[in-house]
């Protein structure tokens, strides 16, 4: 191919990437850079008491963690992730914090997607900017605790719920069920999120045309039934924790 022909084809290949995609990528990288700056400014070694508990629980064998937590009162997902993370990157204090940092950063594009998929691009950027500078998420992104993971999963679950049950995009039912189940395996606060999600179906039912209500209820049964099935293995432990644990580490 001659140099002239190559130069003629070059703009076409560059033009194959939409300018909007380039600007979107640049904007997201900019927000992530701001988020990294904010969320590493106070990132130091050292644990406070709850982070020490996280490290202690995660130091057990991966399959031993659920049994250990019978005496703690927490679900196992974060600790199992921390176990795998520290097995790969070492169990130093600063590297243990990086897991939460990654979850906090991942919330930025997750918020962008959730708002954009339901509303529009402008809403997506507002949500992403808020996630990038939110002080609570900044704090939780610097702790070896499960809270950044709860926020990430909660953001995704909200987007999946709105797509599945408000916009009636059935492809999002399974992702919603899996994500909400993951939340329940991360923190018991997620029980309230799940209950609120069930209640949110009621006004949707009232606002749905009569001929479509049956389909909405079927989709809700699929989604929340899937959550129940996924969470069922942990339910006996949750009941035991509710009856026997409080703050055993304070004794």
Q: Specify if 12 maps to a domain.
A: no
Q: How does pLDDT run along the chain (251 residues), one tens digit per residue?
A: 455 454 555 445 445 667 888 888 999 999 999 999 999 988 877 888 899 999 999 999 999 999 999 988 899 999 999 999 999 998 788 889 999 999 999 999 999 999 999 999 999 999 999 999 999 999 999 999 999 999 999 999 999 999 999 999 999 999 999 999 999 999 999 999 999 999 999 999 999 999 999 999 999 999 999 999 999 999 999 999 998 876 555 55
Q: Specify if 8 maps to a domain.
A: no
Q: Specify if 176 maps to a domain.
A: yes
Q: Specify if 144 maps to a domain.
A: yes
User: Distance between alpha carbon 249 and the CA centroid of its chain, in Å?
Assistant: 28
3-state class of 91 per DSSP? coil
CA 50 vs CA 182, 243, 249: distances in Å: 21, 22, 9
Give the C-alpha separation, 67 to 63, whole Å.
8
Phi/psi for 206 (5° steps) reads: -65, -35
Q: Specify if 6 maps to a domain.
A: no
Domain range spanning residue 28? Answer: 21-250
Q: Specify if 177 maps to a domain.
A: yes
Q: Specify if 157 maps to a domain.
A: yes
Give the C-alpha separation, 43 to 184, whole Å.
28
Number of folded domains that form the chain: 1
Q: What is the pTM of this model?
A: 0.89
Q: Specify if 47 maps to a domain.
A: yes
């Amino acid at each position: 191919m001659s140099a002239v022909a190559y130069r003629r084809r070059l703009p076409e290949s560059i033009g194959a990437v939409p300018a909007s995609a380039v600007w979107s990528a640049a904007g997201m990288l900019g927000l992530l850079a701001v988020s990294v700056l904010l969320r590493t400014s106070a990132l130091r070694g050292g644990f406070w008491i709850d982070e020490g508990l996280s490290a202690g629980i995660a130091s057990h064998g991966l399959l031993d963690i659920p049994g250990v937590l019978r005496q703690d009162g927490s679900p196992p997902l974060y600790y199992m992730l921390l176990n795998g993370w520290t097995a790969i990157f070492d169990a130093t204090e600063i590297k243990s914090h990086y897991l939460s940092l990654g979850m906090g950063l991942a919330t930025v594009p997750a918020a962008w997607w959730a708002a954009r998929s339901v509303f529009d691009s402008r809403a997506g950027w507002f949500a992403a900017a808020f996630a990038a500078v939110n002080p609570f998420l900044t704090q939780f992104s610097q702790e070896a605790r499960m809270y950044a993971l709860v926020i990430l999963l909660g953001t995704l679950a909200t987007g999946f719920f709105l797509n599945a049950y408000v916009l009636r995009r059935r492809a999002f039912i399974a992702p919603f069920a899996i994500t909400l189940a993951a939340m329940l395996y991360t923190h018991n606060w997620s029980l309230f999120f799940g209950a609120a999600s069930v209640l949110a179906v009621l006004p949707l039912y009232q606002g749905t045309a009569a001929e479509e209500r049956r389909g909405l209820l079927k989709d809700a049964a699929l989604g929340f039934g899937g959550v129940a099935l996924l969470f069922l293995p942990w339910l006996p432990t949750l009941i035991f924790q509710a009856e026997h644990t409080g703050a055993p580490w304070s004794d």
